[in-house]
Amino acid sequence: MGEWIGRNRRARRCYGFDEVALVPGRVTVNPDETDASVTVAGRTISVPILAAAMDGVVDVRFAVAMTKLGGMAVLNLDGVQTRYDDPDAIIGDIVNAVPQKATALIQKVYTTPIKEPLIEKRIRQIKDQGGFAAVSCIPQHAERFAQIAEDAGVDVFVVQSTVTTATHRATVYKPLDLFKFCTERKVPVIIGNCVTYEVTLDLLETGCAGLLIGVGPGAACTTRGVLGLGVPQVTATLDCAHARDFYYQKTGRYTPIITDGGMRSGGDICKAFACGADAVMIGSSFARADEAPGKGFHWGMATSHSNLPRGTRIKVGISGSLEQILFGPAMVDDGSQNLVGALRTSMGCTGAKNIKEMHFVEIIIAPSIQTEGKIFQVSQQVGMGK
């Protein structure tokens, strides 16, 4: 498979959301009678859209609000919430920085050491307000932070890095043993990120409760430009979903995969589910919520890297309340509001009564799907022409 790109070198064609479309079903379903709920890490949620562990998106207030609306938000334990007693003031500084100095400021802000008591404090704040506590950190901090988080009553622990593999080789430090880590934890563990069939199979063997799929597609991520890494999300999700299904047939253990990043609208989210995702994780769409701490600004998780930033700060603006973004009514024409309504309407049009059935919707290669008949939208920069 693949085509020649030079002498003795083949490359296969991969696809992103803008290059495919979903085919309407032979049977349609009343959208109000579809079921978009999913089970992730042992918890059934009515909103299958997770909020990414990014400082401009999730804080204690946002996590609680997301829980009450039926979803799940992940708090970043490596970010400002655990480095500063008053993270809002620091976020304000980042938001108000001029573009030319934003990255340097973020790099400086994240050099302040993490205060481990704040890990417990933030988790307890979420729990005390009736929220579901899901938290994330990099592999280097996982063993230490996981114990603190479990003692504080955390519900789900996420180990996340730019690229995660079951086997990591290093001589100057001891790599995290994911097999041992997942076995010893008292709470479900989600691991990320990966994009290939083989790595998905390897990571499923760790006993994790879920996998994050995606390298570099996020709106504020620059990994693809800085490192040249990445697989477009349609192909990545399909490949990893196939690995999930093979592993399930072999072991009887079904592990959800979560497409992470690259979705700008309800349509992209629908396509991710059709590709086999059990849930999706987004950042920029939620960064536009009134409740988001970034107040209309959003920055990548690796923006703070001291030597090689792989993210940037972007202005996304404020679209509306979190409830409006999830459930409408939509007051904009670009598909960024009423995401759950869009998903359920798409399910109805394709004949899928639930997310499992959405996995079998027909997908076509459609390079003109974004432009066909849209000349006036493009010329006026409205709707799909923005």
Active-site residue list: 221, 223
Closest CA to 134 of 63, 42, 56, 214: 63
Task: Name which of 190, 224, 222, 184 is nearest 204 in CA terms.
Answer: 190
Contact 331, 288 (CB under 8 A): no
Among 151, 155, 185, 138, CA closest to 43 = 155
Q: Which residues contact 130 (CB under 8 A, 6 or more apart)?
A: 64, 67, 68
The residue type of 261 is G
d(CA 369, CA 312): 29
Half-sphere exposure in the Cβ direction for 77 (13 Å, CA): 32
**Spatial separation of the C-alpha atoms in residues 95 and 98, rounded to whole Å:** 8
Report how far apart, in Å, the C-alpha atoms of 220 and of each of 63, 80, 103, 317 are: 20, 17, 12, 13
Of the candidates 162, 175, 165, the one whose C-alpha atom is nearest the C-alpha of residue 201 is 165
H/E stretch holding 148 reads helix 139-152
CB neighbourhood size of 111 (10 A): 9
Structure tokens at 268: 């992209």
| Class of residue 30 by CB neighbours under 10 A (exposed 0-12, middle 13-18, buried 19+) | exposed
Query: Using CA atoms, how far apart are residues 147 and 128, in angstroms rounded to an integer?
Result: 19
Alpha-carbon distance 337 to 326, whole Å? Answer: 6
Looking at residue 80, the DSSP 8-state letter turns out to be G
